[in-house]
């Protein structure tokens, strides 16, 4: 199996994609708005991906956060609020905020499971800091580490109840970056003691099954390479100080924070310690280059992948009834702040 996650170009697999994916056997796939038209079409697409490899549990992920980051949109799927509303509710009623975050995540997760999606790139555990770039903004669960951890755990629990595995991101913390890593490389100059604030939520949820790295340069840990490409940060901080032992996924390798060709970035990410290299844009030249540049997945990474997908369920049986109850519960709790 190739240690890569690939994007798809459209609503169905092209003949070239089908042949390529069958040949290289990537660890999984990521979906975007360009891949989504309707409930029936999306489920047919994810069923096709499972059939392609003969694996009922296939890593098929999406960025479905709520608010401004959604791929599955109304009217086909219900609207979901930005994660920051749970932080606002926490100011008034912490237990209610945790319950609302859990209910919202389960309702959202049921949409994903019904579509055959097994992994959601949520929750963000980035601790929001004043003066930071708005790329995180209202996507964050708060500015206080223990609150972020509590709400993040609720989101993971809610997704798991729906049969979807969550991804904690962006490890080891994107909350104080003053640039958008989609556009440039953020450099964080805080010292190691200050960065303990950023690590705290990830450390509290170190047993999460999957994490995503940050394309951020932390001078306190490695002044030469961003976290995704740094063996020092992944070894000493992610696996060491945080204690994360699950499946480690790079953020999108196409982002402008990184330099070099896409295959070079993928090879560097895996060499640094990422289990999987994420390539989102379905450019065949990039994907074939990645396939040539990467070694086969290690047995350790394969075991982490299997564990990450162990509890996924692609066939919820009471979607409408359960989702209605969860939505009503979440809306009632959020009414305090919305």
Inform me whether the pLDDT recorded for 7 exceeds 60.
yes
DSSP string, 103-120: HHHHHHHHHHHHTT--EE
> Is 126 an active-site residue?
no
| Residues in a beta bridge with 186 | none
The CB density around residue 37, as the number of other CB atoms within 10 Å, is 14
What pLDDT, in 10s, does the model give residues 177-234? 999 999 999 999 999 999 999 999 999 999 999 999 999 999 999 999 999 999 999 9
| Residues in a beta bridge with 74 | none
Write down the pLDDT at residue 319: 83
The CB density around residue 24, as the number of other CB atoms within 10 Å, is 17
The pLDDT-based confidence of 45 (bands split at 50, 70, 90) is very high
The arithmetic mean of pLDDT across residues 314-327, rounded, is: 79
Write down the pLDDT at residue 318: 76
The number of folded domains in the chain is: 1
The CB density around residue 335, as the number of other CB atoms within 10 Å, is 10
CA distances 315 to 57, 112, 114, Å, are 12, 10, 6
Inform me whether the pLDDT recorded for 166 exceeds 90.
yes
The label of the residue with tokens 């038209």 reads 37
Candidates 284, 272, 281, 312; CA nearest to 3 is 272
What pLDDT, in 10s, does the model give residues 50-61? 999 998 899 999
> Is 251 an active-site residue?
yes
- Tell me if 57 sits within 8 A of 115, measured CB to CB: no
For 285, residues 6+ apart whose C-beta sits below 8 A from its C-beta are none
- The proportion of the chain whose per-residue pLDDT surpasses 70, expressed as a percent, equals 99
- Tell me if 127 sits within 8 A of 173, measured CB to CB: yes
- Taking the C-alpha atoms of residue 232 and residue 35, their distance in angstroms, rounded to an integer, is 36
What pLDDT, in 10s, does the model give residues 239-259? 999 999 999 999 999 999 999
What tokens were used for 27? Answer: 């660890």
Task: Give the structural domain span for 64.
Answer: 2-334
- Taking the C-alpha atoms of residue 46 and residue 279, their distance in angstroms, rounded to an integer, is 18
* From 16, 91, 182, 285, active-site residue: 182
What pLDDT, in 10s, does the model give residues 269-311? 999 999 999 999 999 999 999 999 999 999 999 999 999 999 8
Inform me whether the pLDDT recorded for 165 exceeds 60.
yes
CATH number for the domain that contains residue 138: 3.20.20.300
Burial bucket for residue 264 (CB in 10 Å: 0-12, 13-18, 19+): middle
* 3-state SS assignment for residue 217: strand
Q: Is the pTM of this model over 0.95?
A: yes
What tokens were used for 181? Answer: 């890593």
Rounded to the nearest 10 degrees, the angle between the axes of helix 94-114 and helix 319-334 is 150
Cis bond upstream, residue 75 (ω within 30): yes
The CB density around residue 337, as the number of other CB atoms within 10 Å, is 18
Q: Is 134 left (phi over 0), alpha (psi -120 to 50) or beta?
A: alpha
* From 120, 251, 252, 286, active-site residue: 251
- Tell me if 150 sits within 8 A of 98, measured CB to CB: yes
What pLDDT, in 10s, does the model give residues 106-125? 999 999 999 999 999 999 99
DSSP string, 64-98: --BTTB-SS-TTTS-----THHHHHHHHH-HHHHH
The label of the residue with tokens 């499946």 reads 247
What pLDDT, in 10s, does the model give residues 67-109? 999 999 999 998 999 999 999 999 999 999 999 999 999 999 9
Write down the pLDDT at residue 316: 59
What tokens were used for 45? Answer: 């697409």
Write down the pLDDT at residue 314: 59
- Taking the C-alpha atoms of residue 71 and residue 42, their distance in angstroms, rounded to an integer, is 11
């Amino acid at each position: 199996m190739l240690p890569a996650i690939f994007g798809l170009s459209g609503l169905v697999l092209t003949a070239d994609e089908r042949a390529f994916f069958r040949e290289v056997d990537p660890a999984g796939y990521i979906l975007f708005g360009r891949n989504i038209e309707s409930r029936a079409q999306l489920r047919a697409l994810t069923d096709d991906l499972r059939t392609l490899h003969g694996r009922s549990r296939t890593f098929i992920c999406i960025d479905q956060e709520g608010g401004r980051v959604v791929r599955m949109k109304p009217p086909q799927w219900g609207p979901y609020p930005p994660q920051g509303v749970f932080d606002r509710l926490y100011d008034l009623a912490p237990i209610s905020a945790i319950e609302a975050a859990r209910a919202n995540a389960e309702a959202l997760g049921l949409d994903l499971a019904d579509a055959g999606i097994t992994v959601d790139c949520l929750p963000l555990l980035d601790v929001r800091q004043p003066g930071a770039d708005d790329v995180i903004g209202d996507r964050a669960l708060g500015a206080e580490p223990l609150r972020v951890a509590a709400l993040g755990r609720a989101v993971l629990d809610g997704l798991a109840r729906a049969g979807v595995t969550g991804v904690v991101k962006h490890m080891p913390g994107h909350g104080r970056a003053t640039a958008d890593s989609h556009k440039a490389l953020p450099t964080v100059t805080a010292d190691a003691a200050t960065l303990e604030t950023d690590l705290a939520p990830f450390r509290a949820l170190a047993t999460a099954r999957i994490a995503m790295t940050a394309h951020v340069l932390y001078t306190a840990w490695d002044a030469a390479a961003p976290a995704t490409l740094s063996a020092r940060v992944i070894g000493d901080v992610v696996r060491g100080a945080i204690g994360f032992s699950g499946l480690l996924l790079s953020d999108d390798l196409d982002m402008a924070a990184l330099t070099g060709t896409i295959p070079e970035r993928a090879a560097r990410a895996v060499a640094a310690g990422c289990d999987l290299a994420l390539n989102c844009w379905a450019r065949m030249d990039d994907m074939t280059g990645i396939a040539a540049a990467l070694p086969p997945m290690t047995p350790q990474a394969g075991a982490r992948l299997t564990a990450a997908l162990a509890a996924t369920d692609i066939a919820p049986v009471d979607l409408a009834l359960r989702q209605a109850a969860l939505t009503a519960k979440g809306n009632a709790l959020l009414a305090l702040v919305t």
